[in-house]
Amino acid sequence: MSSRDIDSTSENVLHDWARDAEDDDGQVEPEPEVEIEPAEHDEDEAAPAWGAASAPAEHEEAVAKTTVETEAEEALEPAEVDEDVPELEEGEIDETPMHVELSHEHAAGDLHIPDGYAVLEGVAEGGRRAVGIVVSRFNGSVTTQLLDSALAELATAGVRQDTITIMVVPGAFELPLAATALAKTRRFACIVALGCVIRGDTPHFDYVSGEAASGLQLAALETGVPVSFGLLTLDRVEQAEARIGKGAEAVRSALEMADLFAHLRAAASR
């Protein structure tokens, strides 16, 4: 049989199968589905390719989470406590002295005046001068030490005790008025004002210290009598100990100004 006869016979057979299928309910039976069993994978095998990219991201997330938890635990650890510092009970006040460092608020060196000029200058000597002291009662533990410092300096300068008058006022705010009253008597060569203001939680400190300073300056300007400034303005009471010498310093300033004014009057009368 030739190849053409074989092809013709095949076409006839296929045609007969299609006609028989149409005769059965007029429909062609669908080909049966072939179930494909999933391939078995070894549990120890590596993850599929699509999951390989997510592995580094999951690792980084785990590391970041561990770091955050570690930092949180460190933050919650209690701070180290100095064993040398005793613990205070409730309501107990710590009376341990506080170390306060002094600021470098002065420049070293003396004033130099060229030769050939007329110079008027006073010295801190008492002689027979009468001195008035105005001191505030408020913050008495500090103002008492200021007063002691001032009286010791007056004795060193040669001012006799019977020529010293001490006027006590309630607080620093009253210092200018008392200084003005003493100066207007014309009995004193100079006035020394002593007081202490300590900063609190309100602006009261600024008002009192500012008005006291300007008032004492005004007392000197109105009367022409030297009024020295011995008012401590502190942030903390612990700062007072290092500044008690301001009482003696105020005395030296007052005596020097009194002596300077005496030289000025003598020079003017010539």
Report the distance separating Cα 32 and Cα 17, nearest Å. Answer: 17
**198: buried, middle or exposed (CB in 10 Å: 19+, 13-18, 0-12)?**
middle
Dihedrals phi, psi of 164, to nearest 5 degrees: -110, 130
215 near 176, Cβ under 8 Å?
A: yes
Report the distance separating Cα 174 and Cα 185, nearest Å. Answer: 18
- Which residue of the set 99, 104, 106, 204 is catalytic? 204
DSSP 3-state percent helix, strand, coil across the chain (nearest 5): 50, 10, 40
Query: 46: which residues sit within 8 A by CB, 6+ positions away?
Result: 52
State yes or no: is 263 an active-site residue: no
Q: Where are the alpha helices (DSSP H) in the chain?
A: 3-23, 49-52, 54-76, 140-157, 175-184, 204-223, 246-268
Report the distance separating Cα 126 and Cα 262, nearest Å. Answer: 12
Chain center to CA of 86? 26
**Range 20-35 burial, b when 16+ CB lie within 10 A, else e:** eeeeeeeeeeeeeeee
Q: Which residues are catalytic?
A: 204
